[in-house]
Amino acid sequence: MAVERQTLVFYMGIASSGMISQRLIQHGLSASTPVAIIERGTQPEQRVMTSVLGTLAMMIELHAVETPALLIIGDVVTLYREANTFYNETNALRSAITPRCSVG
């Protein structure tokens, strides 16, 4: 399961985050591997937190992370800051009112 330069994603892994990080480190993944937690993704209350594998469980407890949440583990997390510069509230998807179609 622990292979360098791969991306691991755990859906609903918050409760098991301590075991997940411990096992990945035991199987060779560095404790300094980047991790991200996306809480309530795509919802207005979405939160994104980044850290490293060795402090994952502590970060979840410190920030009182709730489900639903995704754990993303791997170097891809380092791209978050770069990609996040392209996103802002003005570019967010909004509800659209579309005219009704009529036959005729």
80 pLDDT band, cuts 50/70/90, is: confident
Of 86 and 34, more confident: 34
Handedness of CA 43, 39, 85, 77 (dihedral sign): negative
Mapping DSSP to helix (H, G, I), strand (E, B) and coil, where does residue 28 land? coil
Look at residues 26, 34, 68, 67 and name the one whose alpha carbon lies nearest to residue 50.
Answer: 34
Domain definitions of the chain by residue range: 8-91
Neighbours of 103 (CB within 10 A): 3
Mean pLDDT of 64-88: 81
Does domain 8-91 fall under CATH 1.20.120.350? My reply is no
pLDDT value at residue 100: 52
92 pLDDT band, cuts 50/70/90, is: very low
